[in-house]
Structure 1
Amino acid sequence: MKVDWRGIYPAATTQMTGDGSLDLDANQRMVVQMIDDGVHGLVMLGSVGENTSLTAEEKRRVIASTLEVVDGRVPVISGVAEYTTDLAVAYARDVEKLGADGLMVLPAMVYKADQREVVAHIRTTAEAVGLPVQIYNNPGVYGIDIKPEALVELARGTTNVVSVKESSEDPRRITDIINIDPDALALMSGVDDVALECMILGCEGWVSGFANVFPAESVAIYDHFRAGRIEKAREIYRWMMPALHMDVHPKLVQMIKLSEQVAGRGSETTRAPRLALEGEQRRYVIDTIERLLATRPSID
Structure 2
Amino acid sequence: MRAMALNNYGTADELTETELPDPKVAPGEVLIRVRAAGVNPVDWKLASGGLDPVMEAGFPMIPGWDVAGVVEATGFDVPEYRVGDEVYGYIRKDWAQNGAYAELVSASVRMIAHKPLSLDWNQAAGVPLAALTALQSIDRVVPVSGETVLVHAAAGGVGSFGVQIARARGARVIGTASERNHEFLRSLGAEPVTYGEGLTERVRALAPEGVDAALDFVGEDAVEASLPLLEEPARLVSIADPSAAEHGGHYLWVRPDHDDLVELGRLADRGKLSVHVERAFPLSEAADAWRLNQEGRTRGKIVLTV
TM over 0.5: no
With the length of structure 1 as denominator, give the TM-score of the two structures: 0.29
Q: Which has the larger radius of gyration?
A: 2
With the length of structure 2 as denominator, give the TM-score of the two structures: 0.28
